[in-house]
Amino acid sequence: MHCTASGRPLYDGALRLFIVLLICAVNYKLIESHPLNDGQATKTSEKKCGYESCHKTKPNMLNVHLIPHTHDDVGWLKTVDQYYYGSKTLIQKAGVQYILDSVVQELLKDPEKRFIYVESAFFFKWWREQDAELQEQVKKLVNEGRLEFIGGAWSMNDEATAHYQSIVDQFTWGLRRLNDTFGECGRPRIGWQIDPFGHSREMASMFAQMGFDGLFFGRLDYQDKMERLTTKTAEMIWRASANLDESSHLFTGALYNQYQPPPGFCFDILCADEPIIDAKHSPDNNVNRRVNDFLKFINQQAQYYRTNNIIITMGGDFTYQDANVYFKNLDKLIRYTNARQENGSTVNLLYSTPSCYLKSLHDAGISWPTKDDDFFPYASDPHAYWTGYFTSRPTLKRYERIGNHFLQICKQLTVMAPKVAGEFNPHLSFFREAMGVMQHHDAVTGTEKQAVAADYARHLEVAIRACSMNTRAILNQLTVDTAATHAAESATESARESARKPRWATSDTKKQYKLQFETCTLLNISSCAVPELADKFILTIYNPLAQTVSDYVRVPVPDVNYRVKDFDDVTIETQFLPVPTPVQDLRFRKASAPYELIFPARELPPIGYKSYYIMKTDENHMIPVPDPENVSSFTSIGNEHIRLTFDTNGFLVTVMVDGMTRIVNQEFVYYEAAIGNNREFRNRSSGAYIFRPANDQVRSISLQPKLKIYRGNLVEEVHQSFNDWVSQVVRVYREQPYAELEWLVGPIPVDDGNGKEIISRFNSDINSGDIFYTDSNGREMLKRKRDHRDTWKVKLLERVAGNYYPITTKIALEDDTARMAILTDRAQGGSSMGAGSLELMVHRRLLHDDAFGVDEALNETAYGEGLVARGTHYLIVGSSNKKVSPTTQAIERTTQLRKLLPAWTFFSNAENITYEDWRENFTNIFTGLQLELPKNIHLMSFEPWHENEVLVRFEHILEKDEDPELSKSVQINIQSVLSSVKIADIRETTLAANAWLGDNQRMEFVPDSPEVSYNAYGIYQRSIDEQLMLRVDKPLLDAKFYNQLESWEEQEQLALQTNRLKRLVDESQELNRVRAEKLRVHKVARQPVAEKYVEGDDRFLIELGPMQMRTYILTLEIAN
């Protein structure tokens, strides 16, 4: 097929046909029952799961909900498989298969017992290995609420460095597998984030939108924890979005003892605590003492919570490998403690689950405090700010983001495949699961051992390769195999046939394809085999966004004489630039290409591709040469939107945007890492988790970076060389309203014995005071104030580390006139340490461990020297005026999306294909959409689901006050957009697609009235002495540092400083009013869209307000 380059909807009936063929797409063996209904899975036994299966509590007693649980890291000190099978016991005695084996047997023996399981990655590894009989028994346990899934995502994801798209994906996949296997009783209702190192507001919002009733977590700042315990605010209603209504509110509880049992009550084989010895006449009989100790602990805990219910986690890391041991002692503990009720004890122990505990809180009928900010950063003691992991292992963090990028492309192409091969869906699932593992709180965080990090990268690489087989096959179908379109109908049968083939069918993968559609994974160091070896090659540029985009393509080439043509015989303008010298000099770079060929790929169709033919010519192009050196004057690069000026020393000094010039300078500096023996909290080292600079001063690395300036018709670049291990390319493409700063850092020298934390710092004259903004998992922005927390008066003994926040995609600041934002290409730590200043930590190399378990220094090496990392910051400067569209914030939002999911370049050798042949016989432009979406709407998911089903997810990417036009609600008719898909039915689901939205009912909790808040604050006002008294029985804090505090005075001081004693009551009322105002359901005007978006069958018309995400399962028409 041959299409025009006009960029209009191009696509004729033949293209629609492949979508029809999707009906054959999904035949995934693991599907056992339809989602979102009970299916067969639950018919085998009587269902009484969830809240109905809870043991009764006693109204006039303190009900102690004992939660048997295990925390199974999906990789940390050992790899996923090592943990599952239990190998490498000398590193850690942990074997997940034994946990599930033995827990199931214990549960089968006794209907009173309860157990929760969290990580779907491990559960389904185990499930697959069980025979049908045991599987039935497990289903019975699930149906009776005796085994309950909590969380249920593929892994327990990190909340600082994980991107929302990947979080939603990994929940969607884990919850789907549970739903397919167990139906409604397999649906988790409780978020269980007991180990992640701080908690994002967006995660809470997503839990709420996924239909969860509540969230429990273990780690929060030690000062915040003390404050919340002493003010009975550790359980709260988290109002988790400034844009969405109650649908984003989530009941949230901070656990008292993280996720551990009371000290002395770990009955696991991994622990050394005393079992309960109840032989009547044994001299070792300890029943009385043990019960007394337990009561003492729970009575203490109970005084910090509001109801007559408390939750006690009975488990820990990889506990219950021999479940009998734990359960046997819990049985005794319950029996002997409850026996005291006859003598007047009012304590009642029961086997429970987090959902049953939540139900008890709900049934208590009381009101709860609210929370509007987040739980970052997390500090476990005055010198342990867990802000280093925001940056740790920068290359793994980038690789994870590339994984997300390619996963979306693989999903889209697979859903659009004209002919479905049997291996397509297994490949895709494997990739989804690999990405699910990457989100784990010791994976993308960089807090695993080096060998485990290498295994994560290996796993992801295999998954990318597997899905590359899909993309290669499908792109060949779309591009080469015109028979696919012409003979579509007759192919239906054979496609169905192939879909029936077993998993890992080999026929398609072995076939010699006409085009390679190769991915070059080393493009970030300008290395790619196809263009280096072939004189003729084809680039297929795939655009995964639902908007038509234009982008610049860079191709590493050995020479400067190439011509680029599109399929309309138009020669595209090009520019050649040298690969920066520091990149060429990388010892491990195998490529010989000294140049990059750059050309604009215009009007790339939405959810589609466009191809270009590139050939070497005999013409003599000019070798690119830098501007002559001129050390006496300033240098500038730019275009009509933005201009950057560099001073004679070689530093960026000003940015001019739309006539406004602001001082913006940028440099690389570093913090020297603190070194300590970790024996006490004062002597903490900086490490994989912890960022602790030796002092607040940054050290410079260069006073005079060397510059080379290259100009051309498409892009202007400044190549900066700061020293022999830090360099940067600053570039501005024609037309683009922002600048790119592509940094190259490493190997970081450590021969002076000091670890180093490298930052890129931007100092501007923007008068931002102590306010800056950081994103939450790539979505809503949160306001930050230096040396401040919204809910308590913080005392910072680590001023730099304590002001660091996770930057998943963006950090920004502004004043009355100007605004500056930096977008990142991976998660990094960042802050604003002065007015007008933004900094991002790009790389770190440390020589000491921080004593939180990894037991290795974060000293990444590759090829025998320190690891080199390369990445990009996108600098956007503009007016802070929010009245004229597009605002700077709107430009940031659209740029953010384009940098998350840029066009992907597939390379094919064309030595045997002439240009004419290619032009005549190949389909060189394609789109899966009939209409591109409005700028502010993201087609976030477009993927095959169950048989005859497609999962789609739309998202409004702006917040409500960011732009006068683009922040408005938008209506679109899904049928008009996806008219190439024949939709028979559409149903909206919760965010993770495991429940119909209409059926979803969430538990409601009542916020404290202003009077209650008033009284609460009033109490603190007059209770300084009480507060100090409270500390005599000090709340249990996970950090051991309290024991290490030397003097009583020191403790007292800390307690005083951490309390919110000075806040005025009036202020708190005002705060409540402002919050209520902010959270009032926001009625936004609807953005007028072209008629074409809304016309058609009303059933398919949807509306998206600011920051809304909506998920649908489309049932396809079955072609006859």
Q: How far is the CB of 389 from Zn ion (least distance, A)?
A: 12
Question: Which tokens is 32 given?
Answer: 């056992």
Residue with Cβ nearer Zn ion (125 or 819): 125
Which residue from 118, 111, 193 is spatially nearest to 148, judged by alpha carbons? 118
Taking CB under 5 A as the criterion, which residues in 998-1037 touch Zn ion? none
> Which range touches Zn ion (CB under 5 A), out of 68-76, 737-745, 827-835, 1073-1081?
68-76
Contacts with 733 (C-beta within 8 Å, 6 or more apart), sequence order: 552, 639, 714, 715, 740
Terminal alpha carbon distance of the chain: 25
Q: Kindly report whether the peptide bond that precedes residue 747 is cis, defined as omega within 30 degrees of 0.
A: yes
Answer whether 787's CB lies under 8 Å from 747's CB: no
C-alpha distance from residue 1090 to each of 340, 933, 970, 971, 976 (Å): 73, 11, 11, 10, 12
Degrees (nearest 5) of the Cα angle 74, 77, 81? 50
If phi over 0 gives left and psi between -120 and 50 gives alpha, with beta otherwise, what is residue 1119? beta
Q: How far is the CB of 439 from Zn ion (least distance, A)?
A: 13
- Distance of alpha carbon 624 from alpha carbon 557, whole angstroms: 13
> Which range touches Zn ion (CB under 5 A), out of 69-77, 102-110, 672-680, 1065-1073?
69-77
Task: Enumerate helices (H) and strands (E) in the chain, giving the number of each.
Answer: 28, 50
Residue with Cβ nearer Zn ion (73 or 224): 73
Which residue from 164, 411, 495 is spatially nearest to 945, judged by alpha carbons? 411
Cα 176 to its chain centre, rounded Å, is 19
> Which range touches Zn ion (CB under 5 A), out of 174-182, 191-199, 585-593, 1101-1109?
191-199
Rule CB under 5 A: say whether 144 interacts with Zn ion: no
Q: How far is the CB of 161 from Zn ion (least distance, A)?
A: 14
Q: How far is the CB of 688 from Zn ion (least distance, A)?
A: 13
> Which range touches Zn ion (CB under 5 A), out of 66-74, 690-698, 809-817, 1033-1041?
66-74
If phi over 0 gives left and psi between -120 and 50 gives alpha, with beta otherwise, what is residue 607? left
The number of residues in the chain equals 1120
Residue with Cβ nearer Zn ion (195 or 1008): 195
Residue with Cβ nearer Zn ion (25 or 77): 77
Answer whether 364's CB lies under 8 Å from 309's CB: yes
Contact pattern from residue 558 through residue 597 relative to Zn ion, giving x for each residue in contact according to CB under 5 A and a dash for the rest = ----------------------------------------
Rule CB under 5 A: say whether 717 interacts with Zn ion: no
Q: How far is the CB of 92 from Zn ion (least distance, A)?
A: 12
- Distance of alpha carbon 336 from alpha carbon 339, whole angstroms: 5
Residue with Cβ nearer Zn ion (315 or 878): 315
Q: What share of the chain is helix, strand, coil (3-state, %, to 5)?
A: 30, 25, 45
Rule CB under 5 A: say whether 72 interacts with Zn ion: no
Any idea what DSSP says for residue 835?
T
State the catalytic residue, choosing from 101, 169, 180, 195. Answer: 195
Q: How far is the CB of 71 from Zn ion (least distance, A)?
A: 6
- Distance of alpha carbon 652 from alpha carbon 662, whole angstroms: 11
> Which range touches Zn ion (CB under 5 A), out of 70-78, 429-437, 452-460, 991-999?
70-78
Which residue from 416, 533, 529 is spatially nearest to 479, judged by alpha carbons? 416
- Distance of alpha carbon 488 from alpha carbon 14, whole angstroms: 8
Q: How far is the CB of 315 from Zn ion (least distance, A)?
A: 12
**Which residue number has the CB closest to Zn ion?**
195
Residue with Cβ nearer Zn ion (171 or 294): 171
Answer whether 939's CB lies under 8 Å from 933's CB: yes
Count other C-beta atoms under 10 Å from residue 280's C-beta: 6
C-alpha distance from residue 310 to each of 63, 188, 276, 1033 (Å): 6, 21, 22, 18
Q: How far is the CB of 76 from Zn ion (least distance, A)?
A: 6
C-alpha distance from residue 393 to each of 124, 859, 869, 1016 (Å): 29, 9, 9, 44
Taking CB under 5 A as the criterion, which residues in 934-973 touch Zn ion? none
Answer whether 316's CB lies under 8 Å from 268's CB: yes
> Which range touches Zn ion (CB under 5 A), out of 190-198, 278-286, 550-558, 987-995?
190-198
- Distance of alpha carbon 832 from alpha carbon 513, whole angstroms: 52
Q: How far is the CB of 443 from Zn ion (least distance, A)?
A: 10
- Got the DSSP string for 36-102? TS-TGGGTTS----GGGGPPPP-TTSEEEEEEEEEE--SSSSS-HHHHHHT--TTT----HHHHHHH
Q: How far is the CB of 117 from Zn ion (least distance, A)?
A: 14
Residue 551 burial by Cβ neighbours in a 10 Å radius (0-12, 13-18, 19+): middle
- Got the DSSP string for 232-269? T-SEEEEE--SSS-GGGEEEEEE-TTTTPPSTT---ST
Any idea what DSSP says for residue 1105?
-
- Distance of alpha carbon 686 from alpha carbon 849, whole angstroms: 7
Dihedral sign for Cα atoms in the order 682, 683, 684, 685 = positive
Among 62, 70, 73, 945, binds Zn ion (CB under 5 A): 73
Taking CB under 5 A as the criterion, which residues in 635-654 touch Zn ion? none
Q: How far is the CB of 440 from Zn ion (least distance, A)?
A: 8
Residue with Cβ nearer Zn ion (73 or 448): 73
Answer whether 348's CB lies under 8 Å from 338's CB: yes
> Which range touches Zn ion (CB under 5 A), out of 14-22, 195-203, 518-526, 770-778?
195-203
Q: How far is the CB of 997 from Zn ion (least distance, A)?
A: 32
Residue with Cβ nearer Zn ion (195 or 481): 195
Among 72, 101, 159, 195, binds Zn ion (CB under 5 A): 195
Residue with Cβ nearer Zn ion (445 or 837): 445
- Is there a catalytic annotation at residue 195? yes
| Binding-site size, Zn ion (CB under 5 A) | 2
Contact pattern from residue 410 through residue 429 relative to Zn ion, giving x for each residue in contact according to CB under 5 A and a dash for the rest = --------------------
Residue with Cβ nearer Zn ion (188 or 382): 188
> Which range touches Zn ion (CB under 5 A), out of 194-202, 278-286, 301-309, 1040-1048?
194-202
- Got the DSSP string for 1007-1041? EPPHHHHHHHHHHHHH-HHHHHHHHHTPPP-S-TH
Q: How far is the CB of 73 from Zn ion (least distance, A)?
A: 4
Residue with Cβ nearer Zn ion (195 or 532): 195
Helical residues (DSSP H) of 239-353, grouped into ranges: 287-302, 323-339
Residue with Cβ nearer Zn ion (71 or 139): 71
> Which range touches Zn ion (CB under 5 A), out of 73-81, 118-126, 238-246, 479-487?
73-81
Residue with Cβ nearer Zn ion (84 or 424): 84
Q: Which residues are catalytic?
A: 195
Q: What residue ranges bind Zn ion (CB under 5 A)?
A: 73, 195
